[in-house]
Structure 1
Amino acid sequence: MYLQSLKPAEGSVKARKRIGRGTGSGRGGTSTRGHKGAKSRSGYSQKAGFEGGQMPLQRRVPKYGFKNINRVEYKAINLDVIQALAESTNETVLNFDFFRAHGLVQKNDKVKILGRGEVNKAVEVHAHAFSGSASSSIEKAGGKTVAL
C-alpha cells in the first residue's frame, strides 16, 4: 500500500450537482429553483424571522418583563456541601481556589454560601456573599466567614 494508491471507499464520494449547464444535463432552465418569485432570483436572502408576509412569531408574542443590567449572578454552595468537603479533605480554610479545585465553581463565578444543612467543624470560609442563616451556622460551629 502506497500513499498514491489510497482512494475513498466505493460509493462514499458523490459528484456535486452541476446546475445551469444546459437542458441536456437535466438541471438547466430554471436550475432547480422553480419558476419566478424572489427565491429564483440572484442575490436573494430572506430576513431572519421572515414568515412569508404573515406576522412573525417575535412580533405576535408580546414583550414581557425586563433584564436588570445590574443583576449579580452567584454560584450557590450550601452548608451540607461545605461540611462534606471539610470532612473529606481535612481543610480548615475553604476559599475560591479550593472550590474551583473541587469543580464547584468556574473562573469568573461569584460564590454565595447558603444555609441548607449544618456545619459541625470550625472552618474559615471565603466567599463573595453569605446568607444570614449560613453565616450564623458557620460562626456557631466556631468557624469564620470572610467576604471577598
Structure 2
Amino acid sequence: MPIQAVLFDLDNTLVNRKKAFQNYAERFVDEFVLVVGSRNRVQVVEYIIQADRDGYRKKRELYEELLTQFTMKNPVTADTLVDYWFAEFFKHTVVMDGALELLEQLRSKEIKLGLITNGSVHSQNSKIDQVKI
C-alpha cells in the first residue's frame, strides 16, 4: 500500500526552534541585558537558552528568573518581557535544513500532509506564517 499521508511535528522537525531561540536570545540580550562583570554576552545567551528548557518552561517563570539573574539596561517587568516574547520570538523562526524541499517533494506526489504539535495555536500559526510552509 503506497504512502497516502505524512504527519510532521513542527518544532525541531520542520522549523529549527533551537536556532530560532538562540537568535531570539541574542536579540533579547542586546535589547535588555546590561552585560557586566564576569559574564560575557555568550555566557548570558547560553544561560537564557538553558533556562528556557527547550520551550517547555512557562514564560513568566523564565523572565522572573532572568530579572533576578541579570541587570537590565532599563527597568522592566516580567510582563513587559513576556509581551516582548510574544511580539518578537516568532520573527526568528527558521526552517529546518531540507524541510521545504521534502514538503515540496511530498506535495508533488500528491501525498497528504499533516501537522501535529503541542504548541499553542497562536505560537504555531505565527511560526508557520513566518516561514511560509
Higher alpha-carbon Rg? 1
Q: Which has the higher strand share?
A: 1
Per the normalisation by structure 1, the TM-score is 0.23
| Higher RCO (CA-CA < 8 Å; seq separation 6+) | 2
Per the normalisation by structure 2, the TM-score is 0.24
Q: Which has the higher helix share?
A: 2
